[in-house]
Amino acid sequence: MVFSLLLLYTVNIPLIMPIIIMNKTVVWQNNATQSSQSTTREEVTTGHSTDIVQAHLDGHCWGAEQGKPIITFMPSGRLGNRLCEYAHLFIIHKTFNVSAAIHPQMLDSFQDMFSHLSLKPMKKRCLDELQKARTYYPRVWKSLKVTGIKKSLMFYGTPCKALYIWNNRKLWREELQLSQRMKDLSVVRVRKLISGWRRLHNTSSSATEQVTTVGVHVRRGDYARLLTNLKALHILPPSYYHDAFQYYRDRFGKVVFLVLTEPGQRSWCEHNLTRNNTDVIVVNDGGSANEDLSMLGTLRHIIYSHGTFGLWGIFLGHTQTVVYPNQTISETLGKFAHHKDFDKIRLSSSEIEFISIPVK
């Protein structure tokens, strides 16, 4: 027994002892290495509660600028959502002077659309480490001005605060410039669509006549299911789009409307929007989602419905006018978030004219 104690003392084996008891879970800590470990905070959402835990981050997770934390976003959703995530990531990067890197999956979503994205893809080892520092962004984004960012983090939870993105547009606008290739492709597509429309309606003799082109984004699909689940109003009816069409006809005279929507909703648009309207084209020329959004972003006038795709169609280009719905979805929910933000933006914007049309 004496020999065992002497041996233990001689080799200086550190004692392992419990230091925290939380929610009936014992957390063990090596007291010999406790002070030397580098830690960061991680917010883990479990039901309706949040536990703050400590997670070690390896040195290779730090950005090119030594001594600064590095942040990224876990991508989710489709193209519009991922652009929102990138915009928020870039705004945080500039506002808080922290390093930032783009998740490779996010980069694959839209890198062909833009001239020069300055954020580089994050390496896999760093992504693996940052899984330990996942932070639910919608919960913390308002408090960042107070707390700042002192640790490397991986945000998750798609943010798309239209008013926040708009108010910080000077930070990201140069970053998210459509590439010249996408601009040129969009111009060619619009010309072909207009030429086809002229031939279809025997208006080729007036090919030089000035026509105002208006982009229309129709979002239905999952939004219809969302409203049904919320027991709110139905998705925007055809009458909203017809009223928006008439607004632009009254304002500009000769107009052609290019309707962009999901493949599964084109038949609805053909049936409900083109009937008795010879100036409405449902775009179905094989363009990808990236190409469709780029084309929408090159048009000066847009009819908006719902969603982040149409939002970025407005924000990416040099939009002059936007028609959007004045609709209350329910007494408890009020208006859609983006529609409410447009209400605020139009009060002070000198760049874009926002026109709200009541939904009948």
Helix (H, G, I), strand (E, B) or coil at 60: helix
Question: Which parts of the chain are beta strand (E)?
Answer: 16-22, 25-30, 39-46, 49-56, 70-73, 99-100, 134-136, 153-156, 212-218, 255-261, 280-282, 301-303, 321-326, 353-358
Instruction: Please list, in sequence order, all residues whose beta carbon lies within 8 angstroms of the beta carbon of residue 225, skipping any fewer than 6 positions away.
Output: none
User: What DSSP element (H or E) covers 344?
Assistant: helix 337-348
Q: Are residues 49 and 72 in the same domain?
A: yes
227 versus 267: the higher-pLDDT residue is: 267
Residue type, 174: E
Same domain, 113 and 17: no
Quick one: the chain helix, strand, coil %, rounded to 5?
45, 20, 30
CATH number of the CATH domain containing 284:
3.40.50
Where residue 14 falls among pLDDT bands split at 50, 70, 90?
very low
Count of domains forming the chain: 3
Q: What pLDDT, on the 0 to 100 scale, is given for residue 9?
A: 33
And the tokens for 360?
Answer: 């009948």
Residue in this structure with the two tokens 């001689």, named with its chain if needed: 10
What pLDDT shows up at residue 37?
35
* Least-confidence region, from 109-118, 132-141, 226-235: 226-235
Write down the mean pLDDT value for the chain.
81
Least-confidence region, from 37-51, 190-204, 231-245: 37-51
Nearest CA among 90, 285, 117 for reference residue 185:
285
According to the per-residue pLDDT averaged within each range, which of 52-56, 141-145, 285-289 is highest?
285-289
Q: Can you name the residues that pair with 30 across neighbouring β-strands?
A: 16
- 107-118 per-position pLDDT tens digit: 999 999 998 899
The residue ranges of DSSP E strands in 102-166, in sequence order, are: 134-136, 153-156
Are residue 163 and residue 61 in the same domain, yes or no?
yes
In this prediction, what percent of the chain has a pLDDT beyond 90?
59
Q: Are residues 49 and 17 in the same domain?
A: no
Q: How far apart are CA 258 and CA 159, in angstroms?
A: 28
Same structural domain, 89 and 235? no
Q: Is the pLDDT of residue 223 over 80?
A: no
Evaluate if residue 176 carries a pLDDT over 70: yes
Same domain, 215 and 129: no
Strand partners, 19: none
Q: What is the pTM of this model?
A: 0.80
Same domain as 279, residue 291? yes
DSSP codes of every residue in 85-107 = HHHHHHHHHHHTT-EE-B-HHHH
Residue 23 CA to residue 17 CA, distance in Å, equals 18
**Phi, psi dihedrals of residue 169, rounded to the nearest 5°:** -65, -25
Print the domain residue range for 255.
180-201+208-358
Q: Are 171 and 91 in contact (CB under 8 A)?
A: yes
- For the four alpha carbons of 212, 320, 341 and 190, in that order, the dihedral sign comes to positive
Alpha-carbon distances, residue 174 vs 1, 65, 69, 117, 171 (angstroms): 74, 22, 24, 9, 7
Cβ of 337: how many Cβ atoms within 10 Å? 13
Same-domain pairing of 141 and 262: no
* Same-domain pairing of 229 and 352: yes
Shared domain check, 349 and 213: yes
- In this structure, the answer to whether residues 344 and 298 fall within a common structural domain is yes
- Shared domain for 282 and 230, answered yes or no, is yes
Residue 239 CA to chain centroid, in angstroms?
28
